[in-house]
Amino acid sequence: MKKSEYVWLNEELVLLDQAAVSVNDRGFLYGDGFFETLRAEDGRILFMPEHLARLKASAQAFRIPFPKKFSWEKRLHQVLAANGLERGLARVKILLTRGEASGLGLPQETWPTLVIWAQPYSPPAPEEYARGWPLATFPERRTTFLGRHKSLNYLFYLAARQYALDQGAKEALILEADGLVSEGAATSLIYARDGNFHTPLAASALPGVTIGALGRGLARQGLSLTTVPTTPAQLSLASGIWLTNSLMGVMPVSSLDGMPVLISPQTGLLQECLNLEAQA
Ligand SMILES: Cc1ncc(COP(=O)(O)O)c(C=O)c1O
């Protein structure tokens, strides 16, 4: 028999198949909300304050009331425990929408909808990390300031990822409106050039929790991660390219639009820096 799954919905833990949100919820109607995806290892939730800070900043920027006096840590652990995920890897997802409110604009007098899920997470196999992921440049440029927020308007990224899959790649390279390199469809980007690590300076990229942690981790090792404007041509000259996100950690890139990219031996160093930061 399938084990019952639970989610946190607003004020209580409910069975997943009994968790209901109104069709008038603005998250459903307009994508009017934000989400976070966190990694948990044996019940330990990584970078929780950083994820909550990003969610709160986005909620405030778009006038969605951020839950006050909510015991985030307790609730996230409660959802993990209810789903038997205190051991192993888990994906924890937090979703906050404006809830129900009429009118266009950003009406403030609302009860936001809060959902917390936890599911088992299977990372890519070690061979996949060793082989790396092919990257394909999505031809449509991202022109929205929403890119700086992990908003529920994810359709652009879903289309970009599908484009990459259709090309036989695993991730899409997203370009800024001006054609500069931005990030991946669900990943931040880091690359090596002249013996240094860089990440693209991109006005509408998501401030990734993982790339932030990597910057701090590299600094601890006396190394630097500099943020620089990057053209696609400059990226293609990199001596290593990596994709990062909270679930997957650090994934090397094996090719860019069909051109092979060196699998740099520095992947281990980057992952180690991230692990140390996660334990700090
Ligand atoms: C568009 C985009 N960029 C970057 C990232 C990486 O962010 P983080 O390291 O906070 O998981 C994500 C995560 O899903 C994303 O959706």
Q: Which residue has 């990584």 as its token pair?
A: 46
| Listed residue (120, 114, 186, 174) closest to 144, CA to CA | 174
Specify the pLDDT at position 144.
86
Chain segment 216-242, per-residue pLDDT in tens: 999 999 999 999 999 999 999 999 999
Report d(CA 168, CA 187) in Å as an integer. Answer: 18
Test site for ligand 1: of 161, 187, 273, most ligand atoms within 8 A of the Cβ: 187
Test site for ligand 1: of 46, 121, 206, most ligand atoms within 8 A of the Cβ: 206
Q: 0.85 exceeded by the pTM?
A: yes
Q: Does domain 6-120 have CATH number 3.40.50.2300?
A: no
The segment(s) of the chain belonging to CATH 3.30.470.10 are: 6-120
Supply the residue whose CA is at minimum distance from atom 14 of ligand 1: 186
Chain segment 114-157, per-residue pLDDT in tens: 999 999 999 999 999 999 999 999 999 998 899 999 999 999 99
Supply the residue whose CA is at minimum distance from atom 15 of ligand 1: 186
Supply the residue whose CA is at minimum distance from atom 5 of ligand 1: 187
Please report, rounded to a whole number, the percentage of residues in the chain having pLDDT higher than 90: 94
* DSSP per-residue letters across 61-102: HTTPPPPSS--HHHHHHHHHHHTT-SSSEEEEEEEEE--S--
Test site for ligand 1: of 50, 188, 250, 273, most ligand atoms within 8 A of the Cβ: 188
Atom of ligand 1 nearest to the CA of 247: 11
Specify the pLDDT at position 2.
58
Cβ of 209 closer than 6 Å to ligand 1, yes or no, is yes
Supply the residue whose CA is at minimum distance from atom 7 of ligand 1: 208
Q: What number is the average pLDDT over the span 7-17?
A: 96
The answer to whether residues 200 and 190 touch, using CB atoms and an 8 Å cutoff, is: no
The segment(s) of the chain belonging to CATH 3.20.10.10 are: 126-279
Q: How far apart are the CA of 124 and the centre of ligand 1, in A?
A: 17
Cβ of 245 closer than 6 Å to ligand 1, yes or no, is yes
Q: How far apart are the CA of 150 and the centre of ligand 1, in A?
A: 8
Helix axes 48-61, 72-82, angle to 10 degrees: 110
Q: How far apart are the CA of 20 and the centre of ligand 1, in A?
A: 27
Residue 122 phi, psi dihedral angles, 5° rounding: -105, 110
Q: How far apart are the CA of 3 and the centre of ligand 1, in A?
A: 30
Q: Per the structure block, which two tokens stand in for 280?
A: 């700090």
Q: Mean of the per-residue pLDDT values for the chain?
A: 96
Q: What number is the average pLDDT over the span 35-42?
A: 98
The answer to whether residues 135 and 256 touch, using CB atoms and an 8 Å cutoff, is: yes
CATH of domain 126-279: 3.20.10.10
Report d(CA 263, CA 240) in Å as an integer. Answer: 6
> With 90 as the cut, is the pLDDT of residue 41 above it?
yes
Cβ of 37 closer than 6 Å to ligand 1, yes or no, is yes
